Amino acid sequence: MRVFLTGGAGYIGSHTLLEVLSEAHEVCVYDDFSNSAPEALARVEQLTNRKFLAVTGNILDQMLVAKALVEFQPDVVVHFAGKKAVGESVAKPLMYYENNVVGTLSLLRGMEAAGCRRIVFSSSATVYGNPQYLPLDENHPLSATNPYGQTKLMVEHILRDWCATQLDASAVLLRYFNPVGAHDSGKIGEDPHDIPNNLMPFVSQVAVGRRKKLQVFGGDYNTSDGTGVRDYIHVVDLAKAHAAAISFAETHTGCEAINVGTGQGASVLDVVAAFEAASGRSVPNEMVERRPGDVAACYADASKAQNLLGWQATRDLADMCKTAWKWQSQNPNGYQG
Ligand code: WQD
């Protein structure tokens, strides 16, 4: 199959690119490198020994994205390109609505020009808002507690309506829980461009000495140890879920939302302990106030992915920390060398 990856040089995009190339698909990556590095693509090419096309472009450049799609003629598009920092979205909502929502409309226009009617979308468990029950299944009510979450919810609605206009269209909305870890080689991984918002890259940077101390946001939640509980999923498992979703989109029509998580929750202190065990380094930390907008616990009912995609997560928290540490320790400054 011919697969077009927007944001294919990013953290999840580059791991999915590697999986898709390993399955001998023809691939075109479309990325503006605003939150990724060309070096990631070079390393995927080295790891797979496979060639692929790469177009440098912004998803909002409707002419360019349409030209790339018409020339490549994809069977399916995997849409990663978008902004994803919750805090930044609160500070700069218009940038998020423009990039994530208008950007998706620009992509869909280009897909129509190219006659491509299959898309796999990078959605997020954030569309569930504050959990009303756990584990979260795909029937849980949808709501957003921040502009980032709103953009994911809006794009889900756009894709559902887009699908309804064409009998042969397919949209798979993958609702990620908390992606962490790195490829076993340690050559590709998460490389946040400024202070990490997320737990695992921050812990990793403390362990390698780039940051002094981890602030644990809240120790008074109604959880096993008082700290926030999340469903961390290995990025390689997540990449394999995308490969399975591509196959599903090829043989099915309609719009399906699917959770991509392990179904297991882990607390902040669980992650710290697992990372210290995996790295042999200490992770100094201090308990501080809760972070506004955080929920106590969030983890998936991942049975629909098993039933529809034949996919389930296989890698545990220890492996997530081990691979995250291998990437970080081999690349202390990420792709900047
Ligand atoms: C995890 C836990 C924090 C940092 C967000 C987005 C979600 C997805 C993943 C994009 C929480 C605690 C964190 C720190 C801490 N992003 N924490 N100290 O908030 O569950 O999800 O990222 O798709 O859409 O909402 O992930 O890694 O930020 O936080 O104590 O320095 O770690 O309070 O309990 P989150 P996170």
Mutate to test the pocket of ligand 1, among 11, 134, 153, 217 (most ligand atoms within 8 A of CB): 217
* CATH number of the domain where residue 149 is located: 3.40.50.720
| pLDDT for residue 259 | 98
Query: Is residue 144 domain-resident?
Result: yes
Query: Does pLDDT of 153 surpass 80?
Result: yes
* pLDDT tens-digit map of 252-276: 999 999 999 999 999 999 999 999 9
Query: Is residue 122 domain-resident?
Result: yes
Q: With pLDDT > 90 as the criterion, what percentage of the chain qualifies?
A: 95
Mean of all residue pLDDT scores within the chain:
97
| pLDDT for residue 194 | 82
| pLDDT for residue 193 | 82
| pLDDT for residue 94 | 98
Tokens representing 21 are 């190339």
Give the structural domain span for 67: 2-180+233-261+301-313
C-alpha span between 202 and 246 (Å, rounded): 32
Average pLDDT of the residues in 166-175: 96
| pLDDT for residue 84 | 94
- pLDDT classification of 192: cutoffs 50, 70, 90: confident
For residue 288, CA distances in Å to 213, 215, 285, 292 come to 12, 6, 9, 12
Question: 217 phi and psi, to 5 degrees?
Answer: -80, 80
Does the predicted model carry a pTM greater than 0.95?
yes
Eight-state DSSP code of residue 241: H
235: nearest Cα among 274, 190, 171, 201: 190
Query: Residue with structure tokens 């504050």?
Result: 130
Query: Is residue 325 domain-resident?
Result: no
Mutate to test the pocket of ligand 1, among 124, 199, 203, 268 (most ligand atoms within 8 A of CB): 199
Query: Does pLDDT of 337 surpass 80?
Result: no
How far does the centroid of ligand 1 lie from the alpha carbon of residue 86, in Å? Answer: 9
Query: Is residue 191 domain-resident?
Result: no
* pLDDT tens-digit map of 27-78: 999 999 999 999 999 999 999 999 999 999 999 999 999 999 999 999 999 9
- pLDDT classification of 20: cutoffs 50, 70, 90: very high
C-alpha span between 300 and 84 (Å, rounded): 20
Q: What is the total count of domains within the chain?
A: 1
Query: Does pLDDT of 24 surpass 90?
Result: no
| pLDDT for residue 208 | 92
Query: Is residue 294 domain-resident?
Result: no
Eight-state DSSP code of residue 309: I
Query: Is residue 334 domain-resident?
Result: no
Nearest CA to ligand 1 atom 14: 199
| pLDDT for residue 14 | 98
* pLDDT tens-digit map of 89-134: 999 999 999 999 999 999 999 999 999 999 999 999 999 999 999 9
Query: Is residue 72 domain-resident?
Result: yes
* pLDDT tens-digit map of 197-243: 999 999 999 999 999 999 999 999 999 999 999 999 999 999 999 99
C-alpha span between 99 and 296 (Å, rounded): 29
Catalytic entry in 148, 232, 299, 335? 148
| pLDDT for residue 195 | 86
Q: With pLDDT > 70 as the criterion, what percentage of the chain qualifies?
A: 100
Note whether 55 and 64 are within 8 A (CB): yes
Query: Is residue 168 domain-resident?
Result: yes
Is residue 128 among the annotated active site residues?
Answer: no
